[in-house]
C-alpha cells in the first residue's frame, strides 16, 4: 500500500500547478462577484429570504452527506430565530438541529474571528449534544483518543479506505493547521478554503463529525474570501450531488507526496457548479417575492398562505387535498374548499397528468420548477 500524504517527510507542505487551476479560479471569482452584485441589488426582505434559503439548504445537505436527514422546517425556523428574521410560526427544534445550526452560524456569521481549539471543540460539542453518535457514545468537545480508520463493506470483509494520523499527534497537527488557517497569507481565499478542507479531513481529529466540521471551516473561509457573512450559494449541496467523485478525489490525493492540483481543480469546478445553481435559487426567490407583491391585496387565509409559501420554497412530493389537510391541520372538506378558492383566483391548477388521484400545482405564471 502506498504511503499516506502525512507520512511523507515534507508534510504538510503543499504544492499545486497554478497554471492548471488559474482559468477555473478566475471563472469562480467572476461568478461570485456577479451573484454577489445581484444579491446586493435585491430588496431587504428578498435578501433575507435568499440567505435563509441558502443556509437552510447548506445545513440540510451537509448532514445528508453523512446519511443524516434533518427536518427542513426545523432548520429554517432555527436559523430565522437566531438571525432575527421574521418567520411565521414557532416550531420546536430537536437538539441536534439546534446544534448544527449554531455551529454553521458561528462559522459563517463570525467568519472573521480566530478559529482556535476551544471554538472548534464548541462546534463539535454542539454537533453531538447528547454525547452519542447513533448507537455509540463518543468523546465530545475534545480530540479523539483512539485510532481512526475509514472502513466500508461488511464485518470480516472490511476495506480500509483511509487511516488517519495516530491520536498522539492530533493536537500537534491541529496546532499547525490552526496557525496556518489564522495567519495572513497571499494564497487566494478560495484556494485557502479548499486546502483547509482537505487538510482537516486528513487529520480527522474527532471521533465523529469530521466531514461536517470540515465543511463548516470551508464555509467560514469562503465567507472570509468574500468579506461577507451573507451566504448565497451552498457548496455542501453540490458536494452531495457529486458525492462519489468527492470521495474518489480525496482517496486519490491522500496518497501523493503533497501535490494538491487534482483536489483544487475538482473543488473549484464543484464550486463553480454550486454558483451556477445559485442563479436558479435566486430566480425562485424572485418569483416568490413577485407573487406576494402581486397578491398583497388578495384575500387569503392563513392555511392558504402557509401552503403557498411551502410550494415556493420547494414542496416535497405532489400536492393533494389529503396532504393539504395534513399540513394545514384541517379537515378534507376545508382543504378542498381552500384549493378550489385558489383555482378560482388563478393561483393553482390541476396537474394535467391525471391519474387516480388529483394533484395540484401553481399556475404556469408562478411555476418556475
Q: Domain with 352 in it: what CATH number?
A: 1.10.10.10
Average pLDDT (65-87) is: 89
367 inside domain: no
Q: What is the pLDDT of residue 90?
A: 62
pLDDT level of residue 17 (50, 70, 90 thresholds)? very high
Residue 95 lies in a domain: yes
Rounded distance, CA 123 to CA 280, Å?
31
Mean pLDDT of 194-211: 96
Q: Are residues 253 and 356 in the same domain?
A: no
**Is there a domain that residue 368 lies in?**
no
- Rounded mean pLDDT of 211-221? 97
By the 10 Å C-beta count (0-12 exposed, 13-18 middle, 19+ buried), 52 is classed as buried
Q: Are residues 269 and 346 in the same domain?
A: no
Mean pLDDT over the full length of the chain? 90
Q: Which three cell numbers stand for residue 12?
A: 504538510
Of 278, 336, 308, 326, residue with least CA distance to 36: 278
Residue 316 confidence (pLDDT):
73
Residue 351 has pLDDT above 60, yes or no: yes
Strand partners, 214: none
Phi then psi for residue 169, to 5 deg, are: -110, 0
Phi, psi of 160 (to 5 degrees): -85, 115
Q: Is residue 332 part of a domain?
A: yes
**Residue 228: inside a domain, yes or no?**
yes
Same domain (yes/no): 244, 332? no
Asked whether residue 348 falls in the same domain as residue 219, the answer is no
Give the pLDDT confidence score for residue 278 in this predicted structure.
86
Boundary of a domain, candidates 224, 252, 286: 286
> What tens digit of pLDDT does each residue of 153-169 get?
666 667 777 888 999 99
Percent of the chain with pLDDT over 90: 65
Please indicate, yes or no, if residue 17 is contained in any of the structural domains: yes
The secondary structure of 215-260 as a DSSP string is: HHHHHHHHHHHHT-------HHHHHHHTHHHHHHHHHHHTTSSSB-
Please say if the pLDDT value at position 136 is more than 90: no
- For residue 12, say if its preceding peptide bond is cis, omega within 30 degrees of 0: yes
Least confident stretch, 66-70, 130-134, 182-186: 130-134
The answer to whether residues 127 and 257 belong to one domain is: yes
Position 369 in a domain: no
Say how many CA atoms lie within 13 Å of 87 toward its Cβ.
21
Q: Does 187 lie in the same domain as 66? A: yes
Give the domain extent around 340.
Answer: 295-362
76 and 207 inside one domain: yes
- Residue-wise over 216-240: b if at least 16 C-beta within 10 A, else e? bbbbbbbbbbbeebbbbbbbbbbbb
In eight-state DSSP terms, residue 177 is H
pLDDT at 368: 58
DSSP 153: S
Using a 10 angstrom Cβ sphere, with 0-12 exposed, 13-18 middle and 19 or more buried, the burial of residue 297 is: exposed
pLDDT of amino acid 153 = 64
| Statement: residue 107 has pLDDT above 90 | yes
- Please give the residue that has the higher pLDDT: either 134 or 20: 20
The number of distinct structural domains making up the chain is 2
How far is the C-alpha of 246 from the C-alpha of 240, rounded, in Å? 8
Which of 269, 286, 303 is the last residue in one of the domains?
286
DSSP state at residue 5: G
d(CA 160, CA 172): 25
181, 153: one domain = yes
What is the DSSP secondary structure assignment for residue 345, as one 8-state letter? T
151 lies in the same domain as 17: yes
Looking at 286, 316, 331, the residue that finishes a domain is 286
Residue 115 makes CB contacts below 8 A (sequence gap 6+) with 178, 181, 182, 217, 220
As a whole number of angstroms, the distance between CA 197 and CA 195 comes to 5
**pLDDT for position 154:** 64
Same domain, 312 and 209: no
Specify if 213 maps to a domain: yes
Query: Pairing state of beta strands 348-350 and 360-362?
Result: antiparallel
Q: Which CATH number covers residue 156?
A: 1.10.3290.10
In this prediction, residue 287 carries a pLDDT of 85
Closest by CA to 97, choosing from 54, 130, 121, 145, is 130
Predicted pLDDT at 187 = 96
Residue 252 and residue 206 share a domain? yes
Report, as an integer, the average pLDDT of 86-115. Answer: 86
The whole-number pLDDT of residue 358 equals 87
Whether residue 115 is found in the same domain as residue 147: yes
Amino acid at each position: 500500500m502506498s504511503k499516506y500524504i502525512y507520512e511523507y517527510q515534507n508534510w504538510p507542505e503543499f504544492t499545486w500547478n497554478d497554471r492548471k487551476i488559474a482559468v477555473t479560479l478566475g471563472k469562480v471569482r467572476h461568478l461570485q462577484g456577479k451573484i454577489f452584485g445581484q444579491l446586493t441589488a435585491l430588496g431587504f426582505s428578498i435578501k433575507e429570504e435568499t440567505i435563509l434559503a441558502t443556509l437552510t439548504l447548506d445545513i440540510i445537505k451537509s448532514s445528508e452527506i453523512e446519511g443524516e436527514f434533518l427536518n427542513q422546517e426545523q432548520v429554517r425556523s432555527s436559523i430565522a430565530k437566531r438571525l432575527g428574521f421574521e418567520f411565521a410560526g414557532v416550531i420546536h427544534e430537536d437538539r441536534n438541529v439546534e446544534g448544527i445550526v449554531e455551529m454553521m452560524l458561528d462559522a459563517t456569521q463570525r467568519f472573521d474571528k480566530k478559529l482556535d481549539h476551544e471554538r472548534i471543540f464548541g462546534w463539535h460539542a454542539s454537533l453531538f449534544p447528547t454525547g452519542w453518535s447513533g448507537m455509540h457514545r463518543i468523546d465530545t468537545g475534545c480530540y479523539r483518543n483512539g485510532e481512526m480508520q475509514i472502513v466500508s463493506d461488511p464485518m470480516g470483509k472490511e476495506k480500509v479506505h483511509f487511516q488517519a494520523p495516530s491520536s498522539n499527534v492530533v493536537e500537534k497537527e491541529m496546532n499547525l493547521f490552526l496557525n496556518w488557517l489564522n495567519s495572513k497569507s497571499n494564497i487566494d481565499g478560495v484556494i485557502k478554503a479548499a486546502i483547509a478542507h482537505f487538510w482537516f479531513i486528513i487529520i480527522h481529529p474527532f471521533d465523529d463529525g469530521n466531514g461536517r466540521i470540515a465543511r463548516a471551516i470551508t464555509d467560514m473561509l469562503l465567507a472570509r474570501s468574500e468579506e461577507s457573512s451573507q451566504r448565497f450559494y451552498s457548496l455542501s449541496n453540490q458536494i452531495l450531488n457529486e458525492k462519489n467523485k468527492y470521495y474518489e478525489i480525496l482517496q486519490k490525493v491522500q496518497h501523493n507526496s503533497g501535490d494538491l492540483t487534482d483536489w483544487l481543480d475538482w473543488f473549484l469546478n464543484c464550486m463553480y457548479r454550486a454558483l451556477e445553481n445559485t442563479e436558479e435559487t435566486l430566480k425562485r426567490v424572485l418569483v416568490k417575492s413577485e407573487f406576494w407583491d402581486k397578491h398583497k391585496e388578495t384575500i387569503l387565509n392563513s392555511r392558504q398562505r402557509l401552503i403557498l409559501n411551502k410550494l415556493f420554497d420547494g414542496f416535497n412530493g405532489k400536492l393533494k387535498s389529503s396532504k393539504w389537510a395534513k399540513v394545514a391541520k384541517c379537515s378534507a372538506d376545508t382543504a378542498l374548499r381552500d384549493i378550489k378558492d385558489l383555482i378560482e383566483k388563478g393561483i393553482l391548477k390541476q396537474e394535467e397528468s391525471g391519474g387516480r388521484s388529483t394533484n395540484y400545482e401553481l399556475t404556469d405564471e408562478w411555476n418556475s420548477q
